[in-house]
Amino acid sequence: MRILVVGSRGMLGGALLAAGAAAGHDMVGRDVESIDITDAAGTHDAVAADAPQVVVNCAAYTDVDGAEEHEATALAVNGTGAGNLAGACAAAGARVIHLSTDYVFPGDGTEPYLESDATGPRSAYGRTKLAGELAVADAAPDHAIVRTAWLYGAGGRNFVQTMLDLGAQRDVVRVVDDQRGCPTWTGHLVPALLELAASPASGIFHAAGGGSCTWFDLAREALAAVGSPCRVEPTTTDEFPRPAPRPAFSVLATARGADAVHLPPWQDGLSGFLAARDATTTTPIGG
């Protein structure tokens, strides 16, 4: 299968390119230097030239706090740009898989959010990502909108690696314990995206690590797993104010049937990430 990954230099896009090639797919990658999804005509031409069967949109404006001040810029990419790409896919006869986020929900619930639950983003980032979902669904009948959460993996900035780095430098780290979600390892999400690429199923899918935890839980588990002596102390969101509001509860679950996406428990994802990290880390002689 010929698969075009847009946003191929990002953490998820890079992992998808590598895994798809290893699985025998004909993978093509484009990033900002070769496709500007805010340019509808240029996006149409780029997709037509690549002639993919499936396009996976990993491109996004992901600066959650920056979007509060630059919502129009974020909307151009996350909303209008996503629609432009979906329209180009429809014109080329390609299926589109669009990555979205738990931030489309208000984050004030107590039960896991299902695909059919009402949205209500409270941040500019969430609003622009919801706009993208609506634009993709409107422009391309053959679409899969994949909401994921708390994504981490090799090749990009992420919470788990940040905690490991801090744990190697400090005796104590303080981490919020009043935000609950689903940590998701790219190594588990990528195979699910490749399966969706070959699936006829359309609509919205929730795809996040199984179970849930707080950021404090995740940090403590990660540092314990590597034997770090660093102590993790719980704190609150109010003690670390940010420009964009964070969802207090953004656990994702699925109500789909046989075509639902089920990822392994978040603890397995963390173990997989650490194992992959160890496998690519070389220790100098005498180090």
- Rounded to two decimals, the pTM is 0.95
Measuring CA to CA, how many Å separate 161 from each of 133, 157, 164, 261, 278? Answer: 29, 7, 5, 26, 12
φ/ψ of 69, rounded to 5, equals -95, -25
Checking if the pLDDT of 280 tops 50, the result is yes
Domain ranges of the chain: 2-157+182-211+252-266
The chain-wide mean pLDDT, for the chain, equals 96
Pull the structure tokens for residue 172.
Answer: 């104590």
Tell me what the mean pLDDT of segment 243-259 comes to: 97
pLDDT of residue 287: 35
In this model, does residue 286 exceed pLDDT 60?
Answer: no
Residue 87 in this model has a pLDDT that exceeds 50: yes
One of 61, 103, 113, 125 is an active-site residue; which one?
125
pLDDT for res 281? 64
Helices (H), the chain: 11-22, 40-50, 64-69, 71-75, 82-92, 124-139, 159-167, 186-197, 215-225, 266-279
- Give me the torsion for CA of 79, 60, 13, 218, rounded to 10°: -120
Q: Would residue 125 show up in a list of annotated catalytic residues for this protein?
A: yes
Q: Sorting pLDDT into bands at 50, 70 and 90, what band is 157? A: confident
Q: Which fold has domain 2-157+182-211+252-266?
A: Rossmann fold (3.40.50)
For residue range 89-103, list pLDDT tens digits in order: 999 999 999 999 999
Residue 273, token pair as written in the block:
């990430």
Q: What is the mean pLDDT of residues 8-21?
A: 97
Tens-place pLDDT, residues 268-279: 999 999 999 988
Going by the DSSP 8-state scheme, the letter that residue 198 receives in this structure is: T
What mean pLDDT do residues 208-232 have? Answer: 98
